[in-house]
Structure 1
Amino acid sequence: MAEHNQIGKETEQMAKEWLTSKGYEFLDENYRHGHAEIDLVFRFRGLLVFVEVKFRSGTGFGYAEEFVDATKRKLLVKAADHYIHEKDWHKDIRFDIVGVYKDRNGNVNFRHFEDAFY
Protein backbone atom coordinates (compact mmCIF):
# COMPACT_ATOMS: atom_id res chain seq x y z
CA MET A 1 0.00 0.00 0.00
CA ALA A 2 1.34 3.44 -0.91
CA GLU A 3 2.33 5.64 2.03
CA HIS A 4 -0.37 8.26 1.32
CA ASN A 5 -3.01 5.51 1.30
CA GLN A 6 -1.76 4.23 4.65
CA ILE A 7 -1.82 7.75 6.09
CA GLY A 8 -5.38 8.14 4.77
CA LYS A 9 -6.54 4.94 6.48
CA GLU A 10 -4.91 5.93 9.78
CA THR A 11 -6.39 9.43 9.55
CA GLU A 12 -9.89 8.07 8.91
CA GLN A 13 -9.51 5.73 11.89
CA MET A 14 -8.48 8.65 14.15
CA ALA A 15 -11.43 10.75 12.93
CA LYS A 16 -13.79 7.80 13.43
CA GLU A 17 -12.63 7.32 17.03
CA TRP A 18 -12.76 11.06 17.72
CA LEU A 19 -16.31 11.44 16.40
CA THR A 20 -17.44 8.32 18.25
CA SER A 21 -16.07 9.83 21.47
CA LYS A 22 -18.27 12.88 20.77
CA GLY A 23 -21.44 10.76 20.64
CA TYR A 24 -21.62 9.97 16.93
CA GLU A 25 -22.86 6.46 16.13
CA PHE A 26 -20.63 4.87 13.50
CA LEU A 27 -22.48 3.20 10.61
CA ASP A 28 -20.17 2.76 7.63
CA GLU A 29 -16.81 3.61 6.12
CA ASN A 30 -15.35 3.90 2.64
CA TYR A 31 -18.76 3.63 0.99
CA ARG A 32 -18.27 3.60 -2.77
CA HIS A 33 -20.61 4.32 -5.64
CA GLY A 34 -18.95 4.61 -9.02
CA HIS A 35 -16.01 7.01 -8.72
CA ALA A 36 -17.37 8.52 -5.52
CA GLU A 37 -16.40 7.49 -2.01
CA ILE A 38 -17.68 8.61 1.37
CA ASP A 39 -15.03 8.24 4.06
CA LEU A 40 -17.29 7.83 7.09
CA VAL A 41 -21.03 7.63 7.76
CA PHE A 42 -22.54 8.28 11.20
CA ARG A 43 -25.89 8.82 12.85
CA PHE A 44 -26.04 11.83 15.18
CA ARG A 45 -29.10 13.36 16.81
CA GLY A 46 -31.47 11.89 14.22
CA LEU A 47 -29.31 12.93 11.26
CA LEU A 48 -27.41 10.79 8.82
CA VAL A 49 -23.96 12.42 8.65
CA PHE A 50 -21.59 11.90 5.73
CA VAL A 51 -18.01 12.80 6.68
CA GLU A 52 -15.10 13.67 4.41
CA VAL A 53 -11.78 13.32 6.25
CA LYS A 54 -8.72 15.33 5.21
CA PHE A 55 -5.22 15.11 6.64
CA ARG A 56 -2.84 18.05 6.72
CA SER A 57 0.68 17.99 8.12
CA GLY A 58 0.41 21.72 8.66
CA THR A 59 -1.57 24.66 7.37
CA GLY A 60 1.06 26.24 5.16
CA PHE A 61 -0.76 25.11 2.03
CA GLY A 62 -4.24 25.67 3.40
CA TYR A 63 -6.82 24.11 5.66
CA ALA A 64 -8.53 20.77 5.09
CA GLU A 65 -11.87 22.27 4.14
CA GLU A 66 -10.22 24.12 1.26
CA PHE A 67 -9.38 20.80 -0.39
CA VAL A 68 -12.98 19.71 -0.83
CA ASP A 69 -13.70 21.42 -4.13
CA ALA A 70 -16.91 21.56 -6.17
CA THR A 71 -16.07 18.37 -8.07
CA LYS A 72 -15.44 16.45 -4.84
CA ARG A 73 -18.64 17.81 -3.29
CA LYS A 74 -20.62 16.72 -6.35
CA LEU A 75 -19.21 13.18 -6.09
CA LEU A 76 -19.97 13.03 -2.37
CA VAL A 77 -23.56 14.11 -2.93
CA LYS A 78 -23.94 11.50 -5.68
CA ALA A 79 -22.65 8.71 -3.42
CA ALA A 80 -24.80 9.97 -0.53
CA ASP A 81 -27.91 9.91 -2.73
CA HIS A 82 -27.18 6.29 -3.56
CA TYR A 83 -26.53 5.43 0.11
CA ILE A 84 -29.79 7.08 1.18
CA HIS A 85 -31.73 5.12 -1.43
CA GLU A 86 -29.96 1.85 -0.58
CA LYS A 87 -30.61 2.23 3.16
CA ASP A 88 -34.14 3.63 2.65
CA TRP A 89 -33.32 6.68 4.82
CA HIS A 90 -36.17 9.21 5.08
CA LYS A 91 -34.82 11.71 7.62
CA ASP A 92 -32.45 14.65 7.35
CA ILE A 93 -28.80 14.40 6.32
CA ARG A 94 -25.68 16.50 6.73
CA PHE A 95 -22.27 16.71 5.11
CA ASP A 96 -19.32 17.36 7.42
CA ILE A 97 -15.58 17.75 6.91
CA VAL A 98 -13.10 16.69 9.57
CA GLY A 99 -9.61 18.08 9.23
CA VAL A 100 -6.91 16.10 10.98
CA TYR A 101 -3.77 18.14 11.61
CA LYS A 102 -0.39 16.99 12.86
CA ASP A 103 1.96 19.65 14.22
CA ARG A 104 5.78 19.64 14.28
CA ASN A 105 5.77 17.77 17.58
CA GLY A 106 3.53 15.00 16.24
CA ASN A 107 0.47 16.18 18.17
CA VAL A 108 -2.83 15.50 16.40
CA ASN A 109 -5.63 18.06 16.39
CA PHE A 110 -9.06 17.98 14.79
CA ARG A 111 -11.21 20.68 13.15
CA HIS A 112 -14.82 19.70 12.57
CA PHE A 113 -16.90 21.60 10.02
CA GLU A 114 -20.51 20.64 10.51
CA ASP A 115 -22.92 21.16 7.64
CA ALA A 116 -19.97 22.08 5.45
CA PHE A 117 -21.88 22.00 2.15
CA TYR A 118 -24.81 20.59 0.25
Structure 2
Amino acid sequence: MNNLGQQYEQLALCYLQQQGLSLVQQNFQCKAGEIDLVMREGATLVFVEVKYRASNAFGGALAAVSYSKQQKLLRSCRWYLQQHRLSNAPCRLDVLAIEGQAPYHYQWLKNAISQ
Protein backbone atom coordinates (compact mmCIF):
# COMPACT_ATOMS: atom_id res chain seq x y z
CA MET A 1 0.00 0.00 0.00
CA ASN A 2 1.23 3.48 -0.77
CA ASN A 3 1.73 6.21 1.82
CA LEU A 4 -1.24 8.20 0.55
CA GLY A 5 -3.53 5.19 1.02
CA GLN A 6 -2.17 4.69 4.54
CA GLN A 7 -2.80 8.37 5.31
CA TYR A 8 -6.49 8.10 4.40
CA GLU A 9 -6.87 4.82 6.26
CA GLN A 10 -5.48 6.58 9.35
CA LEU A 11 -8.01 9.39 8.87
CA ALA A 12 -10.75 6.78 8.57
CA LEU A 13 -9.53 4.96 11.66
CA CYS A 14 -9.55 8.16 13.74
CA TYR A 15 -13.01 9.07 12.44
CA LEU A 16 -14.46 5.65 13.30
CA GLN A 17 -12.83 5.64 16.73
CA GLN A 18 -14.47 9.03 17.39
CA GLN A 19 -17.77 7.35 16.49
CA GLY A 20 -17.18 4.73 19.21
CA LEU A 21 -15.68 1.83 17.22
CA SER A 22 -12.50 0.09 18.32
CA LEU A 23 -9.75 -1.26 16.08
CA VAL A 24 -9.33 -5.03 15.79
CA GLN A 25 -6.96 -5.19 12.81
CA GLN A 26 -5.66 -3.00 10.00
CA ASN A 27 -4.91 -4.21 6.46
CA PHE A 28 -5.97 -7.84 6.75
CA GLN A 29 -4.66 -9.65 3.67
CA CYS A 30 -5.56 -13.05 2.31
CA LYS A 31 -5.76 -14.87 -1.02
CA ALA A 32 -9.17 -13.33 -1.67
CA GLY A 33 -8.01 -9.74 -1.19
CA GLU A 34 -7.61 -7.14 1.54
CA ILE A 35 -9.78 -5.56 4.21
CA ASP A 36 -8.69 -2.03 5.11
CA LEU A 37 -10.01 -1.97 8.67
CA VAL A 38 -11.56 -4.55 10.96
CA MET A 39 -13.36 -2.74 13.76
CA ARG A 40 -15.72 -3.63 16.58
CA GLU A 41 -18.93 -1.82 17.43
CA GLY A 42 -20.35 -3.43 20.55
CA ALA A 43 -20.65 -7.15 19.78
CA THR A 44 -20.58 -6.55 16.01
CA LEU A 45 -17.47 -7.06 13.90
CA VAL A 46 -17.31 -4.29 11.30
CA PHE A 47 -15.28 -4.70 8.10
CA VAL A 48 -14.53 -1.31 6.56
CA GLU A 49 -13.53 -0.45 3.00
CA VAL A 50 -11.96 3.02 2.90
CA LYS A 51 -12.14 5.03 -0.33
CA TYR A 52 -10.74 8.50 -0.97
CA ARG A 53 -11.28 10.79 -3.92
CA ALA A 54 -10.17 14.40 -4.21
CA SER A 55 -13.41 15.27 -6.02
CA ASN A 56 -16.66 13.67 -7.02
CA ALA A 57 -16.17 14.55 -10.70
CA PHE A 58 -16.28 10.87 -11.71
CA GLY A 59 -18.85 9.72 -9.18
CA GLY A 60 -16.75 10.27 -6.08
CA ALA A 61 -15.35 7.77 -3.63
CA LEU A 62 -18.47 5.63 -3.36
CA ALA A 63 -18.53 5.02 -7.12
CA ALA A 64 -15.07 3.48 -6.79
CA VAL A 65 -16.56 0.47 -4.98
CA SER A 66 -17.54 -1.52 -8.06
CA TYR A 67 -19.54 -4.73 -8.09
CA SER A 68 -16.36 -6.79 -8.59
CA LYS A 69 -14.71 -4.94 -5.67
CA GLN A 70 -17.76 -5.71 -3.52
CA GLN A 71 -17.53 -9.41 -4.36
CA LYS A 72 -13.81 -9.41 -3.54
CA LEU A 73 -14.55 -7.75 -0.19
CA LEU A 74 -17.23 -10.30 0.64
CA ARG A 75 -14.81 -13.16 -0.10
CA SER A 76 -12.14 -11.50 2.07
CA CYS A 77 -14.60 -11.09 4.95
CA ARG A 78 -15.65 -14.74 4.72
CA TRP A 79 -11.96 -15.71 4.74
CA TYR A 80 -11.34 -13.56 7.84
CA LEU A 81 -14.30 -15.04 9.69
CA GLN A 82 -13.26 -18.58 8.81
CA GLN A 83 -9.60 -18.02 9.71
CA HIS A 84 -10.55 -16.55 13.11
CA ARG A 85 -13.28 -19.13 13.76
CA LEU A 86 -15.94 -16.42 13.98
CA SER A 87 -18.43 -17.78 11.44
CA ASN A 88 -21.38 -17.14 13.80
CA ALA A 89 -20.25 -13.67 14.90
CA PRO A 90 -22.53 -10.74 14.07
CA CYS A 91 -20.80 -8.68 11.41
CA ARG A 92 -21.34 -6.16 8.64
CA LEU A 93 -19.41 -4.60 5.78
CA ASP A 94 -19.27 -0.80 5.72
CA VAL A 95 -17.82 1.70 3.27
CA LEU A 96 -16.26 4.93 4.52
CA ALA A 97 -15.86 7.45 1.72
CA ILE A 98 -13.55 10.43 2.23
CA GLU A 99 -13.71 13.25 -0.28
CA GLY A 100 -12.19 16.65 -0.90
CA GLN A 101 -9.38 18.42 0.86
CA ALA A 102 -9.09 19.19 4.57
CA PRO A 103 -11.56 19.62 6.13
CA TYR A 104 -12.61 16.33 4.56
CA HIS A 105 -16.15 15.18 3.89
CA TYR A 106 -16.91 11.75 5.37
CA GLN A 107 -19.74 9.55 4.19
CA TRP A 108 -20.14 6.37 6.23
CA LEU A 109 -22.44 3.75 4.78
CA LYS A 110 -23.17 1.07 7.35
CA ASN A 111 -23.96 -2.39 6.01
CA ALA A 112 -23.23 -1.02 2.53
CA ILE A 113 -22.41 -4.41 1.03
CA SER A 114 -24.31 -7.59 1.72
CA GLN A 115 -24.69 -11.00 0.11
TM over 0.5: yes
What TM-score results when the alignment is normalised by the length of structure 2?
0.91
Q: How does 1:67-106 map to 2 (within 5 A)?
A: 67-89=64-86, 90-103=88-101, 106=102
SS of structure 1 residue aligned to 2:112: strand
- RMSD over equivalenced CA pairs, Å: 1.4
Q: Which residue is equivalent to 1:110?
A: 106
Shift of 1:102: 2.1
Identify which of 2, 5, 10 aligns with 1:8.
5
Percent same amino acid at aligned positions? 29
Matched, 1:66 2:63: yes
Matched, 1:24 2:21: yes
Residue type matched to 1:100 in 2? I
Shift of 1:97: 0.4
Conserved 8 A contact 2:32-2:79: no
SS of structure 2 residue aligned to 1:112: strand
Matched, 1:39 2:36: yes
SS of structure 2 residue aligned to 1:18: helix
How far, CA to CA, are the matches of 1:65 and 1:31 in structure 2?
A: 21
Deviates more, 1:59-68 or 1:14-23: 59-68
How far, CA to CA, are the matches of 1:14 and 1:84 in structure 2?
A: 25
What TM-score results when the alignment is normalised by the length of structure 1?
0.89
SS of structure 2 residue aligned to 1:97: strand
**1:76–1:18 Cα change, 3 Å:** same
Q: How does 1:47-58 map to 2 (within 5 A)?
A: 47-58=44-55
Conserved 8 A contact 2:36-2:49: yes
SS of structure 1 residue aligned to 2:5: helix
Name the structure where strand makes up a greater proportion of residues: 1
In the alignment, structure 1 segments of 5+ residues that lack a partner are none
In the alignment, structure 2 segments of 5+ residues that lack a partner are none
Query: Which runs of 4 or more aligned residues in structure 1 lie more than 4 Å from their structure 2 counterparts after TM superposition?
Result: none
